[in-house]
């Protein structure tokens, strides 16, 4: 397809109205447009851009028309991406605003991030109310705007639960995380705003691994507004000082219903916000551990030894259960094994040296044993949470943030905003990875940083510590990804409490919720069901080998934590579960359709079912669960994404039975049947020969 003739069905909503008028607005109407031309001509001098701020008590809407302006197209090696830099500079004081804009024509998507720099010779005036997106939208017809969003992580059965609300004209619907981690609490920083027709809208992604916010309000009969930025920011900049803001992504869609938007966004994430190695999108691995969790009073892997770890690797090989990645979780570091004195992995973070009593030659012999099986080796770290009295706390007290209000507290926060500290951390962790033969890096974060940031903000510079810490996190991860070109990062923060557009671009959550520890398959089903609306790559663990439990945990990534040394288990069952997973795993990277609604998913008396469809070849799967208290042996579902005229062979993987139906028949209603409560089924379909 020629670049000059690309069809951008909804990009006209994105670029033309966004940058063409005297106010930042958009119309929800279809059209065709050359993305580069519209960005260049509509984000022009004198036009009010789709962001705003207050500087020295004056609104940017009145200030920017009088500031120096420039536009530059930035080079890039991806033909499907266009990049621009728009710069506004105040004279004579010299505040410079740089807006880096990226367009993705194939996905009708645009993103931007702001950088503020004081180019003057004295402190800037106060910068506040920075709205990275400040946008008015107009629908073709009057009616309600519906917002589809999801819970963040509570470490509960409700994690990532899908939610719906209708925008109000009386007050904004506000979304924000809790505690300083971007997906902790009631809101995930991804949502789908649907126009009154229900057939067009915008999926929004926010990139900020801290305290973001988003306000959405209905205006008049056909309008809605979206504003988003940092939740708390009011500061000035010293000479030559720069900061960045959250990033914002808008991806416009039209289709039969809102799932057209969700599935386009999933594809967009895979194409442009997923780790690439040698130019290829990376699928995250099927993992296992070393007989996960040591017996009490040991915790996690706090009593693991090199000999036992290597023996487990050999045991997995013997049983033909070698995973793609062997995952060494918490407890390998110095001090974690001192259970006689009440120590564990959790209260010794900050001792980031390998426990040489248990691993006399470091972790390299374990890595070598893993590599001999053809697998990769992933190791857990938690560098930001430092326990008082540990190695780092004693050796580098100037790099730690304490809470003056809690002098007897246990935790310190490693100051990623301190350049010297961050550069040291990069080298230190990088060297540990290199010296110990580690292939993949797992980062945990089991504390709430917001109160530490607030306690250390300078007077008149509210939000600066948060900005510097978040910038430092990205710089640290980018360093690791550049130093180790094949590295994958597993993003954990008490489970999935740091999921946002920026972390998704660098990592994926292989352990999406610490609710796993409750061993509740129904909860895992709901987590998969809700998170799949927005993110295609995520995983969790599985403890049991029965079909119901196993299928409750499967998604695009998985860790099996089976105790292969204990009686009462069958490695043949384990092999069968892994075989099934390998058959269906790739479908989790394809189009997703919920089949049983989005009401309360935590109940034990419901059916829960979903479909994954592969448009390229017409194949797919249906996964369904009849929960323990559900009285109904069957349910009728309607499949999506199929060719109405084609015939499909639908096979029950458990019974081997199959039936041939047309796409129209499957879309109008297909009965799923399970004779027993607390049971599951897996259907696979393909075009009939």
**Residue from 218, 248, 217, 216 nearest 230 by CA:** 248
Instruction: Tell me how far apart the alpha carbons of residues 199 and 182 are, in angstroms, rounded to a whole number.
Output: 29
User: So what's the pLDDT on residue 327?
Assistant: 98
pLDDT single digits (tens) 107-141: 989 999 999 999 999 999 999 999 999 998 888 89
For residue 138, the SS3 value is strand
**374: alpha, beta or left? (left if phi > 0; alpha if psi -120 to 50):** left
Instruction: Tell me how far apart the alpha carbons of residues 23 and 65 are, in angstroms, rounded to a whole number.
Output: 12
pLDDT single digits (tens) 451-468: 999 999 999 999 999 999
User: So what's the pLDDT on residue 39?
Assistant: 57
First-last CA distance in the chain:
32
| Residue 135 structure tokens | 């946008």
Instruction: Tell me how far apart the alpha carbons of residues 264 and 568 are, in angstroms, rounded to a whole number.
Output: 45
**Residue from 671, 676, 677 nearest 627 by CA:** 677
Binned average pLDDT, 10 residues per bin, the chain of 689 residues: 29 36 40 47 68 96 93 90 94 92 91 97 97 91 96 98 96 98 98 96 97 97 96 98 97 94 98 96 96 92 97 97 98 97 97 98 98 98 98 98 90 98 98 98 98 98 98 98 98 97 98 93 98 98 95 97 90 96 97 97 98 96 98 98 98 97 98 98 96
User: So what's the pLDDT on residue 46?
Assistant: 63
User: SS3 helix, strand, coil % of the chain, rounded to 5?
Assistant: 25, 30, 45
User: So what's the pLDDT on residue 45?
Assistant: 65
pLDDT single digits (tens) 81-115: 999 999 999 988 899 999 999 999 999 899 999 99
Instruction: Tell me how far apart the alpha carbons of residues 689 and 681 are, in angstroms, rounded to a whole number.
Output: 24
User: So what's the pLDDT on residue 410?
Assistant: 95
For residue 366, the SS3 value is helix
User: So what's the pLDDT on residue 217?
Assistant: 98
Write out the H or E segment, with its range, that includes residue 626. Answer: strand 619-626
φ, ψ of residue 254 to 5 degrees: the values are: -145, 155
**Per-residue b or e along 46-79, where b marks 16 or more CB atoms closer than 10 Å to that residue's CB:** ebbbbbbbbbeeeebbebbeebeeebeeeeeeee
User: So what's the pLDDT on residue 37?
Assistant: 54
- Angle between helix axes 464-483 and 419-435 (nearest 10 degrees) is 30
């Amino acid at each position: 397809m020629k670049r000059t003739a690309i069809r951008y069905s909804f990009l006209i909503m994105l670029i033309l109205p966004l940058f063409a008028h005297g106010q930042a607005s958009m119309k929800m109407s279809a059209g065709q447009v050359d993305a580069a031309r519209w960005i260049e001509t509509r984000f022009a001098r004198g036009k009010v851009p789709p962001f705003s701020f207050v500087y020295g008590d004056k609104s940017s809407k009145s200030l920017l028309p009088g500031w120096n302006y420039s536009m530059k197209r930035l080079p890039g090696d991806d033909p499907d991406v266009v990049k621009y830099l728009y710069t506004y500079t105040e004279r004579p004081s010299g505040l410079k605003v740089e807006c880096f804009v990226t367009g993705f024509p194939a996905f009708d998507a645009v993103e931007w991030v702001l950088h503020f720099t004081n180019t003057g010779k004295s402190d800037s005036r106060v910068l506040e109310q920075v709205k990275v997106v400040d946008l008015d939208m107009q629908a073709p017809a009057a009616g309600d705007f519906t917002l589809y969003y999801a819970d963040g992580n509570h470490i509960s059965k409700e994690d990532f639960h899908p939610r719906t609300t209708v925008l109000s004209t009386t007050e904004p619907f506000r979304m924000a995380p809790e505690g300083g981690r971007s997906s902790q609490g009631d809101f995930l920083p991804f949502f789908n705003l649907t126009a009154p027709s229900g057939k067009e809208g915008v999926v929004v992604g926010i990139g900020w691994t801290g305290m973001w916010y988003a306000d959405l309000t209905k205006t008049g009969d056909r309008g809605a507004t979206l504003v988003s930025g940092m939740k708390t920011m009011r500061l000035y900049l010293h000479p030559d000082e720069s900061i960045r803001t959250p990033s914002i992504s808008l991806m416009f869609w039209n289709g039969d219903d809102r799932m057209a938007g969700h599935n386009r966004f999933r594809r967009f994430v895979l194409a442009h916000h997923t780790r690439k190695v040698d130019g290829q999108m990376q699928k995250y691995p099927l993992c296992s551990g070393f007989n996960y969790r040591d017996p009490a009073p040991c915790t996690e892997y706090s009593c693991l030894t090199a000999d036992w770890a290597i023996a487990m690797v050999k045991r997995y090989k013997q049983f033909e259960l070698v995973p793609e990645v062997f995952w060494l979780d918490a407890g390998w570091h110095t001090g974690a094994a001192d259970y006689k004195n009440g120590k564990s992995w959790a209260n010794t973070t900050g001792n980031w040296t390998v426990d040489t009593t248990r691993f006399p030659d470091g972790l390299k012999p374990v890595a070598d044993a893993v590599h001999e099986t053809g697998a990769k080796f992933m190791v857990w770290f938690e560098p930001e949470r430092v326990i008082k009295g540990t190695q780092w706390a004693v050796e580098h007290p100037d790099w730690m943030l304490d809470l003056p209000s809690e002098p007897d507290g246990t935790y310190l926060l490693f100051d990623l905003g301190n350049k010297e500290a961050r550069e040291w951390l990069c080298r230190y962790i990088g060297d540990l990875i290199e010296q110990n033969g580690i292939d993949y890096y797992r980062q945990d974060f089991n504390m709430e940083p917001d109160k530490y940031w607030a306690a250390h903000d300078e007077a008149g510079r509210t939000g600066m510590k948060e900005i510097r810490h978040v910038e430092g996190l990205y710089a640290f991860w980018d360093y690791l990804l550049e130093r180790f070109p094949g590295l994958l990062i597993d993003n954990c923060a008490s489970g999935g409490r740091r999921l946002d557009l920026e972390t998704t671009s660098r990592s994926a959550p292989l352990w999406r919720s610490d609710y796993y520890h409750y061993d509740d398959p129904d909860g895992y089903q709901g987590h998969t069901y809700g998170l799949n609306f927005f993110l295609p790559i995520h995983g969790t663990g599985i403890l049991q080998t029965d079909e119901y439990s196993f299928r409750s945990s499967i998604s695009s990534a998985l860790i099996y934590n089976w105790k292969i040394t204990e009686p009462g288990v069958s490695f043949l069952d384990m092999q069968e579960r892994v075989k099934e997973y390998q058959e269906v795993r790739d479908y989790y990277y394809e189009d997703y359709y919920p089949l049983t609604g989005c009401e309360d998913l935590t109940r034990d008396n419901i059916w829960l079912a979903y479909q994954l469809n592969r448009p390229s070849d017409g194949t797919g799967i249906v996964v369904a669960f009849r929960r323990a208290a559900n009285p109904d042996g069957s349910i009728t579902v309607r499949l999506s994404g199929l060719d109405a005229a084609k015939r499909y062979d639908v096979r029950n993987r458990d019974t081997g039975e199959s039936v041939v139906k047309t796409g129209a028949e499957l879309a109008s209603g297909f009965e799923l049947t399970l004779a027993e409560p607390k049971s599951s089924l897996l259907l696979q379909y393909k075009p009939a020969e």
